[in-house]
Structure 1
Amino acid sequence: MQILTLFIVALVALEHIGIAGLEMFAKPEVQANAFDMPVEFVKDSHAKVALANQGIYNGLFGVLMLLMILFFTGAVLRTILILMLLYIIGVAIYGAFTATRKILFLQGLPALIALILVAIFYK
Structure 2
Amino acid sequence: MNILLIILTYFVAIEHLGIMGIEIWGTSTKQAELFSMPLSFVKQAPAKAALANMGIYNGMLGLTLGLTPLFLTGHNQLVMTALLLLFVIIVAIFGSLTVKKQIFWLQGMPALVTFLVLLTQLV
Indicate whether the TM-score tops 0.5.
Answer: yes
Pair 1:92 & 2:107 matched: no
Q: Which runs of 5+ in 2 are unaligned?
A: none
SS in 1 for 2:37: coil
TM-score by length of 2: 0.95
Structure 1 residue 14 corresponds to structure 2 residue 14? yes
Q: Distance in 2 between matches of 1:122 and 1:106?
A: 25
Identity over aligned pairs, percent: 42
Residue 121 (structure 1) shift: 3.8
Q: Is 1:5 paired with 2:5?
A: yes
Q: TM-score, normalised by structure 1?
A: 0.95
Deviation at residue 101 of structure 1 after TM alignment: 0.7
- Whole-Å separation in 1 of the counterparts to 2:52 and 2:21: 9
What are the within-5 Å matches in structure 2 for residues 25-44 of structure 1?
A: 25-44=25-44
Letter in 1 for 2:91: V
SS, match of residue 37 in structure 1:
coil
Q: Distance in 2 between matches of 1:122 and 1:27?
A: 42
Task: Write out aligned runs for 1:1-123 (5 A).
Answer: 2-121=2-121
Kindly report structure 1 stretches of 4+ aligned residues shifted beyond 3 Å: none
Q: Deviations over 1:95-114 (max 9, x none)?
A: 11111111111100000000
User: How many Å separate the matches in 1 of 2:121 and 2:7?
Assistant: 12
Gapped runs of 5+ residues in structure 1? none
Q: Secondary structure at the match of 1:36?
A: coil
Residues 14-39 of structure 1, C-alpha deviations (whole Å, 9 max, x = no match): 00000000000010001111111111
Residues 5, 122 of structure 1: 8 Å contact kept: no
